[in-house]
Amino acid sequence: MAFEKLELDDVEGGVRLRVRLSPGARRQGVLGAYGDALKVAVHAPPERGRANEALLDLLARTLGVSRASLRLLAGHTARDKTVLVHGLPASTIRERLAHAS
């Protein structure tokens, strides 16, 4: 999949990743690029932060980092979200996403 178009911004404390989330999906996983964002689907419903937690858990497994290395910066109640990834450079994130799909 074409992950080279993903907008990965180096910021203080890590890399900012834009995500387009599909909650309540039948199939869970990293689906590919959605413009300059990463398209991700999770089983969890968009209720009481369940989908956000499922997103962060899925990204942690996919990127091979601890759950504590990820933080939701923006989009708590929206489909479009911004996640901060600590401890990995943008090139490694792109590579791991490519291998996961």
The CATH number covering residue 76 comes to 3.30.1200.10
Report the domain count for the chain.
1
Dump pLDDT digits (tens) for 65-75.
999 999 999 99
Domain-located, residue 3: no
The answer to whether position 2 is within a domain reads: no
Per the listing, tokens 């209720």 go with: 47
* pLDDT band (50, 70, 90) for residue 1: low
Mean pLDDT of all residues in the chain?
Answer: 93
41 in a structural domain: yes
Q: Which domain holds residue 90?
A: 8-100
Position with higher pLDDT, 38 vs 7: 38
Give, in order, the Cα–Cα distances in Å from 88 to each of 42, 66, 92, 95, 101: 23, 11, 6, 11, 19
Look at the pTM and tell me if it is higher than 0.75. Answer: yes
